[in-house]
Amino acid sequence: MLNSANSLIEENERERLENIYAAVNAALDDQERSAIVMSQLVARIPAVTQAMADNDREPLKALFAEGFPKMKEEYGVRQFQFHKAPAFSFLRVHKLQKFGDDLSSFRHTVVKTNTEKVPVSGLERGVAGIGIRGVAPIFHNREHVGSVEFGLSFKKSFFDALKKEYHVDFHLKLPKDGKFETYAATLDPKFTLDNEHTQEVLDGEKLIHPGETDNGPVVIYAAPIQDYSGKAMGVLEIIADRSKTESMLAQTVWTIIVLGVLFILVGLVIAYIIARRVHRSLGCEPANIAYIASEVADGNIHVDTSHFNPENVGAYLAIRKMINTLNKLWLSMSITAQSTMAVVDEMVGTRDSLNKDADESEKLSMQVIEDNDRLDRESQNLTESIHKTKEHFLQVSEAADTLSRDVKLIAQQAEMASGNVNTMASAAEQMAANLSQVKSNLQNVTEAIHGVNNAVGQMKTSQSQVLQMAQQANAISNETNTQVQQAITQIDNLNVSANEIGKVVNIINNIASQTNMLALNASIEAAGAGEAGKGFAVVANEVKELASQTSEATQMIAKQIGAIQNDTKQVVASIHEVTETIGKVIESNRSISDSTEAQGALVENILQAAQDVSNATDEVSHNATELSTASDEVARAALEAANGTNAIAEATDGMNQKAQLVAEQSKTANEQAQSMDVSSQEILSASVAVQKKMIDVISLMGFLHGTIRHQNQLTQVIEESATRLNSIAQEMSGSGQSAFDLRTVKQAHLAWLGKLEQVIVGRLELSPDGVTDHHGCAFGQWCDSGAPEELKALPNFQKMYATHAKVHEVAREVVNLVDQNQADEAKVMMSRFQKIREQLFNELDDLYYDIESVVQ
C-alpha cells in the first residue's frame, strides 16, 4: 500500500508538470496567433499597401506611430516593423529613426515570408533576443510589395506571468559554443541540469530529475522549446517545489503507520478484552479478533463478523460501527467520484461545442475583417469617383457657362453676318443690273456693225457708179481706211476691257464659291454648337472679307463697264465718220468708175474689219452674260447665307437656354456629390473604427482559445483524479456490480440541462412532445421494470421516483414556454428545473448508498 501511494503521488506530480509544459506551449501559441493576426490585419489595410507600393514611409508613420505606445502597453508588442524583400528594414515603428539595414543574415522568418509570400509565425532569435514573431506578406494589386512584422516579448516577464499562475519556476537555456547559457529565469539559475542532460533534452528527450535548492527539495522537468520551423532552439526547465509532495508522502507514510499502529492497538485492546472476558465477553476465539484486525488493516472493511456472539451486544456493535463508518466513507468517495465523472463527461461534450463555437467566432471575425477591408477599398474607390465626378461637374458647369457666352457671341456675329450678306446680295443685284445695261449697249454695238456691213454691201453694189471718181475715192478710201484702223484700235481696246471683265468675273466666281463654302461651314459649326461657336466667328469674318472683295470687284466691273461704254461711244462715232466717209466715197465713186477693182478690195477689207468688230462684240456680250449669271448666283448664295445666319441666331437662343439649364443642373449635381463625399468619409472612418475593434476581438479570441485549452487540461485532470478515486473506492468497498450506474444516470440528466439551455437560446429546436416523461427515459424504465422489488420498497426509492417525475414535467414545461415564445418565463422555469435536478441528485446519492448498504 505504501508503494502504491508513493507511485500515485509521483505520477500526479509528473502529470502536473507535463500540463504546465503544455500550458507554456499554449501560451506561446496564443501569442503567436495574436502576432500573426495583427500582421495580417495591417497587411490588408489599403493605405498600408499603397504606401508600401509607393515606397513612402510617411503614411505609415501617420497611421501607426502615435498608437504604438498603447499597443506596447496593452498587448506586449515590442517590435512593429515593415520590410522590403528579401529582408531590408523599411520602417521600424518602434524605432522610427533606424531603417534601411539588411536583416537577411539572421531574420529568417522575414526572408521566408518575402521569398515564399506566405505568413510565418513562431519563435526566432534576433539582435535583441528571442521574440514571438508574426510576419505577413503585403500585396498591392496582387503584386508583392513587402512584409509587416509584429514581435511580442519572450523574456523574463513572459515566465513571471506563468510563475504567478502555476506557482513554479522556469529556466530557459540556449546552446552556445558547446555549452548552455541562461536566457531567462525566475530563480537563481545555478539550480539546473548539467550540460550532458541538457543536451539530451535538446536532442528530443524529456527528463524529470530531483534536485535541491536553498529552500528545500525540488523536481526539475526539462523539455525542448521549438522555433518557428519546428527545430529545438533551447531547453525549458520547470522547477517545482517538492517539499509539499514529500510532506504529503511522509504524511501518507505516517498515516499508514498510525493506522497500522491503531489497528494493532485495537487488536491489542481486543486481545486484552478477550483475555479478560475470554469467550464470555467476545463470543469468539481470540484468533478471530486478530483475523478481523488484520483484514481491516489490509483494507478489507467487509470482513466476516459472523463469529461474534450476537448476545454480546456491546462488542458486536463496536466492531460493526467501526466497519460501517469506514464503509460509509468509501461509499461517499465512490458517489463523489461517479458524480464528478458524470460532470466531466458533460464537460467534455460542452468542450467540443465550445471549441467549435470559438473557432466559428474566429472565422466570423476574420470574415468581418475581410469584408471590412473590401468596404474600405470600395469606400476609397467611391471617394475617388465622387472627386472625379465633382471635377467633371465643375468642368461641365464651366463649359456650359462658356457655351452660353459663346452662343450669345455667335448670335451677335450671325446678325452682323446676315447684314453683311444682305449688303453683298444688294451689291450683286446692282452688279447684275449694270451688266444687263452693258449687254444692252453691246447689242446696240452689234446692230451698228451689222448696219456697217449692210452699208458696205450697198457701197460695193454701187462700185460701178464710182468709176469716174477713182482718184477722189482713193483719197477718201485712204482716209476711211485710217479711220477704220482707228475704229479697229478702239475695238481692240474694248476687247482688252472685255478681258479685264473676264478676270473680274473669275474673281467674283471664286468669291461666290468661297462664300458658299463658308456659309455651309457656318451651318455645320452652328449645328455642332459647343466650341464650334468660335469657328462660326471665324467664318463670319471670312464672309465679311469676301463681301469686301465682292464690293471691290463690283467697283472694278463698274469701271470696266464705263470703259466699255466710252469705247462703244467712240466706236459708234467712228462708225458714223466711216459712214460719212463712205458716203463721200460713194459720191466720189460715182464719178470714178475706173477704180472699181481697187475700191472692191478696200471694201472687202472694211467688211473683214467690221466682221472682226462684230466677233469681238459677241464675245464681250457672252462674257457679260456669264458675269450676269455669276452675279445672280452670288446674290442667291448671299440670300441663302443670310437665311442660314438668321436660323443660327434663332437656334443659338435655344442653345443659350439649354446651356444655362446644364450649368444649373451641374451645380446641383456638384452639391449632391459633395454630400456623398462627406457620407463616404464617414463610412470610411466608421470602417477604420470597426477594424480596430476587430483587432481587439481577434486578440480576445486568442485569449479565449488559451482559456479553453486550459479548461480542457483541468477537465482532463479532474477526470483522471475522479477515475482513480472511484477505482480506489471500489477497491476498498469491495462491492461488485451496482444495481444502477450512478454516473450514467447523472450524466444523462446533466445532458438534458445543457439541451434545455440550447433550446432557450434558440440553438436547438425541440417540441414539447420531444420531451419524454419519467417512464420514457432509460433510468425511468429501469425504475419501472428493472429495479428489484425490495429496492422499490425503500422510502428513498419512492421519494427519488417522485422527484424524477417532477424533473421531466418541469423540462417539458420549459420547452413548452419556449414553443410559446416566452423565453423569459422559460429562464425562470429553468431555475426551478435546476433546483429539482439538485434534489434528484441528492436523492440518487441516498438511494445508491442504501443499495450498496443492502448489497454489503
pLDDT on residue 340 = 77
CA–CA dist 185, 201 (Å, integer): 18
Fill in the amino acid letter for 733. Answer: S
Q: Over the stretch 475-488, which tens digit does the pLDDT of each residue have?
A: 655 665 565 566 55
Q: What is the DSSP letter of 786?
A: I
Is residue 766 domain-shared with residue 794, that is, in the same domain? Answer: yes
Is the model's pLDDT at 395 over the cut of 50?
yes
Is the model's pLDDT at 159 over the cut of 50?
yes
pLDDT on residue 139 = 96
Compute the 3-state secondary structure of the chain and give helix, strand, coil in percent, each to the nearest 5.
75, 10, 15
pLDDT on residue 343 = 75
CA–centroid distance for 5 within its chain: 64
CA–CA dist 752, 387 (Å, integer): 61
CB 464 within 8 A of CB 592: no
Domain containing residue 766: CATH number: 1.20.120.30
Of 644, 347, 361, 652, the residue nearest 518 (C-alpha) = 644
- 179: confidence class by pLDDT, cuts 50, 70, 90: confident
Is residue 295 domain-shared with residue 167, that is, in the same domain? Answer: no
Is the model's pLDDT at 802 over the cut of 70?
yes
What is the pLDDT averaged over residues 738-765?
Answer: 82
Tell me the Ramachandran region of residue 771: left when phi exceeds 0, alpha when psi lies from -120 to 50, beta otherwise: beta
Residue 423 lies inside a defined structural domain of this protein? yes
Residue 269 lies inside a defined structural domain of this protein? yes
CA–CA dist 89, 102 (Å, integer): 6
Number of CB atoms found within 10 A of residue 146's CB? 25
Is residue 800 domain-shared with residue 835, that is, in the same domain? Answer: yes
Cell of 258: 498510525
Domain containing residue 520: CATH number: 1.10.287
Q: Over the stretch 186-199, which tens digit does the pLDDT of each residue have?
A: 887 676 888 888 88
What is the pLDDT averaged over residues 408-434?
Answer: 55
Is residue 626 domain-shared with residue 758, that is, in the same domain? Answer: no
Average pLDDT, the chain: 72
Q: Which range, 106-120, 447-461, 674-688, is most confident?
A: 106-120
Is residue 435 domain-shared with residue 538, that is, in the same domain? Answer: yes
Q: Which residues lie across from 22 on neighbouring strands?
A: none
Residue 330 lies inside a defined structural domain of this protein? no
Q: For 411-416, which contacts have Cβ atoms below 8 Å and span 24 or more sequence positions?
A: 411/648, 411/649, 411/652, 411/653, 411/656, 413/536, 413/537, 413/540, 414/522, 414/526, 414/536, 414/540, 414/645, 414/646, 414/648, 414/649, 414/652, 415/645, 415/649, 416/540, 416/544
Q: Is 300 exposed, middle or buried (0-12, 13-18, 19+ CB in 10 A)?
A: middle
Is residue 108 domain-shared with residue 162, that is, in the same domain? Answer: no
pLDDT on residue 541 = 60
What is the pLDDT averaged over residues 133-151?
Answer: 94
CA–CA dist 479, 580 (Å, integer): 11
| Range with the poorest average pLDDT among 111-125, 644-658, 766-780 | 644-658
CB 692 within 8 A of CB 296: no
Instruction: Characterize 464-488 residue by residue with b for buried, 16 or more Cβ atoms within 10 angstroms of its Cβ, and e for exposed.
Output: ebbbbbbebbbebbeebbebbeebb
Fill in the amino acid letter for 728. Answer: I
**Coil, strand or helix: which one is 44?**
coil
CA–CA dist 720, 709 (Å, integer): 16
Is residue 67 domain-shared with residue 215, that is, in the same domain? Answer: no
Please state the pTM of the whole predicted model: 0.39
Nearest-10 crossing angle of helices 46-53, 313-461: 60
- 219: confidence class by pLDDT, cuts 50, 70, 90: confident
Q: Which residues contact 240 (CB under 8 A, 6 or more apart)?
A: 13, 16, 17, 20, 168, 169, 218, 219, 221
User: Could you identify the residue written with the cell 413548452?
Assistant: 816
Instruction: Please state the φ and ψ torsions of residue 222, each to the nearest 5 degrees.
Output: -115, 135
Is residue 95 domain-shared with residue 142, that is, in the same domain? Answer: yes
CB 833 within 8 A of CB 803: no
Instruction: Please state the φ and ψ torsions of residue 455, each to the nearest 5 degrees.
Output: -65, -40
Of 851, 717, 716, 840, the residue nearest 777 (C-alpha) = 840
- 615: confidence class by pLDDT, cuts 50, 70, 90: low
Share of the chain above pLDDT 90, in %: 15
pLDDT on residue 121 = 93
Q: Over the stretch 230-262, which tens digit does the pLDDT of each residue have?
A: 899 999 999 888 776 666 666 666 676 666 677
**Coil, strand or helix: which one is 214?**
coil
Mind giving me the DSSP string for 270-310? HHHHHHHHHHHHHSS-HHHHHHHHHHHHTT-TT---TTS-T
Residue 278 lies inside a defined structural domain of this protein? yes
CA–CA dist 17, 487 (Å, integer): 147
| Range with the poorest average pLDDT among 52-56, 202-206, 329-333, 729-733 | 729-733
Is residue 88 domain-shared with residue 197, that is, in the same domain? Answer: no
Cell of 413: 456675329
pLDDT on residue 321 = 66
Q: What is the residue range of 292's domain?
A: 252-311
What is the pLDDT averaged over residues 531-543?
Answer: 55
Is residue 544 domain-shared with residue 644, that is, in the same domain? Answer: yes
Is the model's pLDDT at 462 over the cut of 60?
no
Residue 206 lies inside a defined structural domain of this protein? yes
**Final residue in a domain of this structure, among 626, 654, 682:** 654
CA–CA dist 293, 408 (Å, integer): 130
Q: Over the stretch 417-426, which tens digit does the pLDDT of each residue have?
A: 555 545 545 5
CA–CA dist 837, 779 (Å, integer): 14
Q: Which residues lie across from 226 on neighbouring strands?
A: 232
**Final residue in a domain of this structure, among 201, 219, 241:** 241
Backbone Cα Rg of the chain: 64
Q: Is 376 exposed, middle or buried (0-12, 13-18, 19+ CB in 10 A)?
A: buried
- 313: confidence class by pLDDT, cuts 50, 70, 90: very low
Fill in the amino acid letter for 62. Answer: A
Q: What is the DSSP letter of 102?
A: B
Tell me the Ramachandran region of residue 530: left when phi exceeds 0, alpha when psi lies from -120 to 50, beta otherwise: left
**Final residue in a domain of this structure, among 187, 222, 241:** 241
Share of the chain above pLDDT 70, in %: 46
Is the model's pLDDT at 504 over the cut of 70?
no
Rounded to 5°, the CA angle 778-779-785 comes to: 90
Q: Which residues contact 449 (CB under 8 A, 6 or more apart)?
A: 575, 610, 613, 614, 617
Residue 794 lies inside a defined structural domain of this protein? yes
Q: Which residues contact 636 (CB under 8 A, 6 or more apart)?
A: none
Tell me the Ramachandran region of residue 764: left when phi exceeds 0, alpha when psi lies from -120 to 50, beta otherwise: beta
| Number of domains into which the chain is organized | 5
What is the pLDDT averaged over residues 548-552?
Answer: 60
pLDDT on residue 753 = 83
- 605: confidence class by pLDDT, cuts 50, 70, 90: low
Q: Over the stretch 33-65, which tens digit does the pLDDT of each residue have?
A: 989 999 999 999 999 999 999 999 999 999 999
Number of CB atoms found within 10 A of residue 403's CB? 24
Instruction: Characterize 428-458 residue by residue with b for buried, 16 or more Cβ atoms within 10 angstroms of its Cβ, and e for exposed.
Output: bbebbebbeebbebbeebbebbeebbebbee
Residue 552 lies inside a defined structural domain of this protein? yes
pLDDT on residue 720 = 72
Q: Is 841 exposed, middle or buried (0-12, 13-18, 19+ CB in 10 A)?
A: buried
Q: Which residues lie across from 279 on neighbouring strands?
A: none
Is residue 66 domain-shared with residue 132, that is, in the same domain? Answer: yes
pLDDT on residue 488 = 58
Query: How do 467-468 and 592-593 pair as beta strands?
Result: antiparallel
Longest dimension (CA), the chain: 227
**Coil, strand or helix: which one is 223?**
strand
Is residue 779 domain-shared with residue 839, that is, in the same domain? Answer: yes
Residue 798 lies inside a defined structural domain of this protein? yes
pLDDT on residue 768 = 87
CA–CA dist 155, 375 (Å, integer): 39
CB 149 within 8 A of CB 133: yes
pLDDT on residue 772 = 86
Domain containing residue 79: CATH number: 3.30.450.20
